[in-house]
Chains A and B, each alone.
Chain A
């Protein structure tokens, strides 16, 4: 009964390809997030959705497009992958407003 799950766990691909990462939470939370963690462990917020609506969209290349089909899912699609996109991507969820976040296990993306 995983709380926040992500697929795939590992993703290795070539530059220029398009890829997607899926996230699902079974906690009944209203808010979901995507974070990027670089090689130095720095965590950067990318997007946040509340009840399927985009509420936070940080300075992220428009090659990255989130999509929330329903409250329990938040997917991340990346077009034209670049070497600098290599990182670990974390999905997280929380109740409305600032509260504890529950993180998924992460997706390690490697762009060759």
Chain B
């Protein structure tokens, strides 16, 4: 069965600093990978996804993520964080033919002015 690990429960960065949120997955074949963002009091919104092809994927709001098969990772990055990026970030993994992705426990991003 697939699983997802987000090792950081909280990450604190200063506004304007770069950001990397870690995600490791456990799955035998090539997984379907997602990053979602949940702003306070809101539902989840897709930032980006990887199904195949170029391992560096671009998403909305200036985010990108890189699929590294050798490390079973799909880390999320942003070069310069804005205060509005403060939110909960979820990594999810799924397998083809399944309807349901497995979500990580989430990383809470705190942005200091």
Q: Which residues of A are at the interface with B, using a C-beta cutoff of 8 A?
A: 4, 31, 33, 40-43, 45, 48, 50, 55-56, 90, 92, 94, 97-98, 100-106
Contact = CB atoms under 8 A, between A and B. Distances in A.
B74 interface: no
A55 B112 CA distance: 44
A103 B32 contact: no
23 contacts: A4-B43, A31-B99, A41-B88, A41-B105, A41-B106, A43-B44, A43-B103, A43-B106, A48-B99, A50-B99, A56-B99, A94-B99, A97-B97, A97-B99, A98-B32, A98-B98, A98-B100, A98-B101, A101-B46, A103-B44, A105-B42, A106-B41, A106-B43
Interface of B: 32, 34, 36, 38, 41-46, 49, 88, 90, 94-101, 103, 105-106, 108
A102 B45 CA distance: 7
Contact of B45 (A42, A55, A103): A103
